[in-house]
């Protein structure tokens, strides 16, 4: 089977060339499908001259812009791999990712010149490409717009790709403290489009804003690729601003809106919220983290909108469940039923057997929307998948239950992870940094509820005998070593940590002691 994600844009440009595909708010530009396809072709043809070939990786460190669209589709046409970077990370964190995926080209925006300067001595990248006139002092970099403008807009020669060929690599923080690169094959991109279009009832008339970063699976796949597949319209924001985004929804007559719980809370708190016009919106959907029922109900009461709870993850696609508007009210708190071309189980992780309705277990997913594994990490891949009949099954690490009617509820996580404002924070990674401090003997991170972010980190620390350290000192020690959102909001001290017979910290006891 010949599946190429680049065909999504090429074919759409053939079918509806003059239809507006993308509104870029930062520049005011409105791009037709033909214009976007020509940009992707120019990029592909220029990168090929630069030596980028099938299987090579290309990364970007920049705020949202049309360049992400160029890269995603242009690289797909070449059979090369898109590996975007999280600009919230520090140079040290990025260095591990860059050295793992080894991009041949790294594009960067003007806001991140300083970060690139820190990163350069730590990595080996053959070519740097500057966006919007950015420059690296004393270093050679290509100017993106000038170079791609000179390239041919003709369709590049396409390689024959197996459906399992990797289209992009998206890094997720690892439970061992090291990020893992989820390999998203061309097959997964296509099936995410089909599943989302069918299960969420999208049409070519839909308009969706993108307020989330395009280095995230949610930004790329929740509505962007499915609507390009259908011929709808995307409205792209460079960054998130609560009031400006509310105005955008009305001005661009947006119809389907994705947000994480933190965004919905910030919108409600915005001074403009009472005036916000949602008459064009068919439904809002919250993803990235469990959305409090109280927040969903507050939105419905304030604005009378259709509000759904979604569920997805990088490895299995961002749209794994679906429900009708009526079910979203009747089953508030549920993520719905598995999408059309998907299978789900709730499994006892110790026995591998399905648990009865109403009981909790680990959520397993299978279908063509699931990734092919982790980049250069066969052990993590083997641990994440089960080859039981009907699989391969992806073990999500999330605790779920299914009711008698077949509706699924996400209860918590088996993996030691905190979800803060839609971002994953893995405890092992943060604990490892704390243990680097000369005064720290032991450290254990737990999540505590937070009104704004949903959940934030609380670090429980045991100091070495005879050593002293303050909360402020330890938090400051993390600066430059961890992204700001990963730095615990609180640090508390204790004489000892509770351990299980297997040598693992019993975090449930810590939660009882420090959270209640």
Kindly report the CATH number assigned to the domain that includes residue 78: 3.40.50.12780
Q: What residues have CB less than 8 Å from 245, skipping those under 6 apart?
A: 209, 211, 237, 267
Tens of pLDDT, residue by residue over 228-248, are 999 999 999 999 999 999 999
Q: Does residue 486 form part of some domain?
A: yes
- 275-285 burial, b for 16+ CB within 10 Å, e for fewer? ebebeebbbbb
CATH number at residue 434: 3.30.300.30
489 within a domain of the structure (yes/no): yes
DSSP 42: H
Residue 355 forms part of a structural domain: no
**Per-residue pLDDT reduced to its tens digit, 352-367:** 899 999 998 999 999 9
Q: Is residue 224 part of a domain?
A: no
441 preceded by cis ω (within 30°)? no
Q: Are 104 and 127 in contact (CB under 8 A)?
A: yes
d(CA 478, CA 443): 13
pLDDT of residue 289: 75
Domain boundary among 160, 185, 201: 160
Judge contact between 457 and 486, C-beta under 8 A: yes
Helix ranges (H only) for 385-450 are 427-435
Within-domain flag for 60? yes
Q: How far apart are CA 65 and CA 213, in angstroms?
A: 10
How far apart are the C-alpha atoms of 81 and 167, rounded to whole Å?
A: 5
What's the CA angle centered on 412, arms 475 and 301, to 5 degrees?
95
Nearest partner of 178 among 231, 108, 125, 99, judged by Cα: 99
| Structural domain includes residue 377 | no
Instruction: Answer with the one of 115, 142, 160 that is the final residue of a domain.
Output: 160
Final residue in a domain of this structure, among 113, 143, 160 = 160
d(CA 208, CA 223): 7
Distance (Å, whole) CA 123 – CA 343: 41
Query: Longest C-alpha distance within the chain, in Å?
Result: 72
Q: Across the beta sheet with 29-32, what order do the strands follow? A: 29-32, 20-24, 233-236, 207-210
Task: Residue 96: give the domain boundaries.
Answer: 1-13+27-160
Q: DSSP letters along 267-280, please? A: HHHSTTGGG---TT
Letter string b/e over residues 312-337, b meaning 16 or more CB atoms within 10 A of that residue's CB: bbbbbbbbbbbbeeebbeebbebbbb
Low-confidence ranges of the chain (pLDDT < 70): 1-2, 173-177, 415, 500-504, 516
Q: How many domains does one find in the chain?
A: 2
pLDDT of 176 reads 53
Q: Under a CB-based contact definition with an 8 Å cutoff, are residues 38 and 66 in contact? A: no
Residue 59 lies in a domain: yes
149 in any annotated domain: yes
pLDDT at 351: 86
Q: Where are the beta strands (DSSP E) in 72-154?
A: 81-82, 105-108, 127-130, 142-143
């Amino acid at each position: 089977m010949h599946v190429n994600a680049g065909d999504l844009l090429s074919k759409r440009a053939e079918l509806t060339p003059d239809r507006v595909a993308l509104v870029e708010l930062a520049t005011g530009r409105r791009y037709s499908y033909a214009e976007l396809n020509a940009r992707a072709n120019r990029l592909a043809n220029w990168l090929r001259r630069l030596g980028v070939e099938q299987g090579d990786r290309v990364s970007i460190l920049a705020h949202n812009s049309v360049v992400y669209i160029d890269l995603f589709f242009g690289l797909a046409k070449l059979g090369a791999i898109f590996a975007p970077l999280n600009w919230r990370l520090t140079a040290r964190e990025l260095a591990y990712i860059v050295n793992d995926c080894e991009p041949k080209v790294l594009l960067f925006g003007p806001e991140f010149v300083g970060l690139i300067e820190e990163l350069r001595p730590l990595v080996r990248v053959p070519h740097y490409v500057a966006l919007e006139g950015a420059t690296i002092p004393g270093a050679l970099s290509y100017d993106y717009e000038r170079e791609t403008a000179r390239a041919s807009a003709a369709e590049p020669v396409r390689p024959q790709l197996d459906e399992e060929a990797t289209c992009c690599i998206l890094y997720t923080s690892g439970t061992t403290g090291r990020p893992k690169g989820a390999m998203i094959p061309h097959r997964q991109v296509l099936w995410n489009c089909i599943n989302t279009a069918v299960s969420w009832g999208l049409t070519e008339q839909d308009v969706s804003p993108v307020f989330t970063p395009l280095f995230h699976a949610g930004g790329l796949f929740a509505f962007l690729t499915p609507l390009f597949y259908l011929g709808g319209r995307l409205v792209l924001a460079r960054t998130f601003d609560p009031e400006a985004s509310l105005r955008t929804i009305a001005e661009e007559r947006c119809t389907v809106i994705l947000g994480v719980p933190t965004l919905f809370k910030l919108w409600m708190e915005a001074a403009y919220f009472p005036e916000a016009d949602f008459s064009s919106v068919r439904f809002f959907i919250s993803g990235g983290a469990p959305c409090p029922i109280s927040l969903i109900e507050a939105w419905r009461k304030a604005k009378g909108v259709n509000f759904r709870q979604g569920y997805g993850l990088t490895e299995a696609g961002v749209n794994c469940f679906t429900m009708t508007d009526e079910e979203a009210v009747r089953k508030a708190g549920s993520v719905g039923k598995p999408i059309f071309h998907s299978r789900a189980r709730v499994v006892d992780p110790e026995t591998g057997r399905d648990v009865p309705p109403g009981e909790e277990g680990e959520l397993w997913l299978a279908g063509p929307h699931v990734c092919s594994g982790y980049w250069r990490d066969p052990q993590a891949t083997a641990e994440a998948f089960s080859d039981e009949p009907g699989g391969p099954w992806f073990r999500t690490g999330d605790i779920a239950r299914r009711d008698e009617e077949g509706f699924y509820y996400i209860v918590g996580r088996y993996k030691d992870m905190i979800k803060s404002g839609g971002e994953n924070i893995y405890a092992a990674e943060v604990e490892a940094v704390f243990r680097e401090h000369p005064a720290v003997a032991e450290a254990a991170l737990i999540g505590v509820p937070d009104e704004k972010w949903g959940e934030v980190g609380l670090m429980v620390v045991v100091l070495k005998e005879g050593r002293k350290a303050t909360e402020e000192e330890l938090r400051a020690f993390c600066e430059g070593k961890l992204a700001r959102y990963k730095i615990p909001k609180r640090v508390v001290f204790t004489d000892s940590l509770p351990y299980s017979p297997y040598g693992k910290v019993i975090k449930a006891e810590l939660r009882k002691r420090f959270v209640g």
